[in-house]
Amino acid sequence: MDLLLHSLPLLARGTITTVYLSAAAVVLATVLGIVLALLQLYGGIVLRALVEVYLYVVRGVPLLVLLFAMYYALPYANVRIEPVTGGILVIGIYFGAFMTEVFRAAVLSVPKGQWEAARAVGLTTPWILRDVVLAQAVRMAGPPFINTCVMVVKGTSLVAIIGLADVTYVGKQIVERTLAPFEIFGAVALVYFVICFALSRVGRYLEGRVNYAS
Amino acid sequence: MPANEIEIRGVSKWYGDHQVLKSISTDMKRGEALVVIGPSGSGKTTLLRCINLLDDFQEGEIRIGGEAMGYTLDAAGKRVRRSETEIARMRAKLGMVFQSFNLFPHMSALKNVALGPIRVLHTPPKEAAEQARAMLARVGLADKADAMPGQLSGGQQQRVAIARALAMKPTAMLFDEVTSALDPELVAEVLDVMRQLVQEGMTMVIVTHEMSFAQAFAHRAIFMAAGEIVEQGEPAALFQDPQSRRLQAFLDRFKQGYKL
């Protein structure tokens, strides 16, 4: 108990780093996801091909390998990125691919009749996208979006390996000094669980909102 | 102003090798209610969708209020599609109602009706909302302004869809089998609204299977089969005294209905 109390400030700081990394990576991944989904759906053939390449590369390479590439390989190319920024970039870009799928599927889930009804009223494509298609797609995307956010939060734990002081890294450090893995890693696991559980609850709430009538 | 609201001249359309419209021509006077009947696959819905260019057509010309819809000739005399903006502007002059309503499910009935005027006619939102209320009252749904489409019955949704089209103050209305997806007891409330429009002198193209409605209220009927206009004329005459064997067969099947 004493041990946990002493570790608490450190774990709290690690938690803040984890939350910060997660939030920043989610923002980056979401922006990437929306933009790339729209490019893939409505862009020219070149843009569509580029997005495809990005999706295949990112989906085909583990997140850990991408982190290693950023941390160990880029310096050889004389590109130095500060680890926190680098971590956010890599995680954001990695999960951006998943977000692209989330938003692409959501846009495609809007029935063709919605486009036709909007066209028949005389709306031009930008307005149709904004008022009719994206307005509905965003609601449809809610639950899978939250799901991907949960994956991002858990994915940030990998940055411990490149030495970023997130809650996993801090936990490992404390365990090395105190030799109390059960208590400390239990606490670390609890941190992730609480964040992800809260997200899931939000997801449930959004799921209810997809049903417009209620 | 031209006397004809809609002019259709030699319109042909192909899906690959398959010709779905074969040089269709017909003119519609202002205030005329035209009913289009025919077996499924006859091209009647396609023709309707060509009028507001939801479907492209490869040959011929459709004029709305004298203006060629969808296509124009470039300097070299080649037929080119107009810009999306121009097409959207012309579509706004035509109201269309679909078989499956296609209301925007995330907007209240009022917003469904007000969206077009706000975005296309640039009506100030407050004014658009007032007009939308008036339109909803016109289709008998004054009390449903704040309801979401999912809370309305099929007949009510379809009436909102009619109000949405009317809110654009169209010069003509297109109806694509608008009662086909409705429970029988809800058909009448939609047909009532359409009858009212006929009587108010709205120019209407109505693709339908409601023969008794066609006979009672339409000014003219067209029978299509295999992409062609086979017969046309005053509805009662057409239905009672069909000249072609194809129309005869079509009507017979209708009269028989479902028999064991």
- Most A CBs within 10 A among B46, B64, B102, B107, hence the mutation to make, goes to B102
- For residue B196, being part of any structural domain is answered with no
Give residue A212's pLDDT: 66
Give residue B2's pLDDT: 57
Per-residue pLDDT of chain B (260 residues; tens, 9 = 90+): 557 899 999 999 999 999 999 999 999 999 999 999 999 889 999 999 999 999 999 999 999 988 889 898 888 888 899 998 999 999 999 999 999 999 999 999 999 999 999 999 999 999 999 999 999 999 999 999 999 999 999 999 999 999 999 999 999 999 999 998 888 888 999 999 999 999 999 999 999 988 888 888 899 999 999 999 999 999 999 999 999 999 998 988 877 766 55
- The CATH number given to whatever domain includes residue B23 is 3.40.50.300
Q: Cβ–Cβ contacts within 10 Å for residue B15, how many? A: 9
Q: Please give the tally of structural domains in chain A.
A: 1
Q: Which of A93, A7, A10, A104 is closest to A48 using CA atoms?
A: A104
CA distance B216 to chain A (A): 28
Query: Does the structure show a pLDDT above 50 at A202?
Result: yes
- For residue B110, being part of any structural domain is answered with no
Give the integer Cα–Cα distance in Å for B195 and B173. Answer: 13
- For residue B223, being part of any structural domain is answered with yes
Listing DSSP states for chain A in one string gives: -HHHHHHHHHHHHHHHHHHHHHHHHHHHHHHHHHHHHHHHHHS-HHHHHHHHHHHHHHHHS-HHHHHHIIIIIGGGGT----HHHHHHHHHHHHHHHHHHHHHHHHHHTS-HHHHHHHHHHT--HHHIIIIIIIHHHHHHHHHHHHHHHHHHHHHGGGGGGGT--SHHHHHHHHHHHH--HHHHHHHHHHHHHHHHHHHHHHHHHHHHHHSTT-
Give residue A214's pLDDT: 43
User: For the whole prediction, is pTM greater than 0.90?
Assistant: no
Q: Please give the tally of structural domains in chain B.
A: 1
Average pLDDT rounded to a whole number, residues A63-84: 85
**How many CB pairs below 8 Å do chains A and B form together?**
73
- The CATH number given to whatever domain includes residue A204 is 1.10.3720.10
Give the integer Cα–Cα distance in Å for B52 and B165. Answer: 13
Residue B100 has what DSSP assignment? Answer: T
Give residue B21's pLDDT: 94
Contact predicate B116/A118, CB 8 Å: no
Contact predicate A96/A58, CB 8 Å: yes
Contact predicate B206/B249, CB 8 Å: no
Range of the domain at B234: 1-93+212-260
Using 50, 70 and 90 to split pLDDT, how confident is the model at A178?
confident
- For residue B81, being part of any structural domain is answered with yes
- Residues in Cβ contact with B81 at an 8 Å cutoff, skipping those fewer than 6 apart: B56, B70, B71, B87
Residues of B in contact with A118 (CB under 8 A): 104
Residues of B in contact with A211 (CB under 8 A): 150
For A133, which residue in chain B has the nearest alpha carbon?
B104
Give residue A81's pLDDT: 81
Query: Does the structure show a pLDDT above 60 at A213?
Result: no
- Most A CBs within 10 A among B84, B99, B106, hence the mutation to make, goes to B106
Residue B105 has what DSSP assignment? Answer: T
What is the bridge-based pairing of β-strands B4-15 and B59-64?
A: antiparallel
Interface of B with A (CB under 8 A): 52, 54, 84-85, 88-89, 91-96, 98, 100, 102-106, 115-116, 119-120, 148-151, 161, 164-165, 168
Q: What is the edge-to-edge ordering of all strands in the sheet holding B94-97?
A: B94-97, B172-176, B203-207, B33-37, B220-225, B228-233
Range of the domain at A126: 2-210
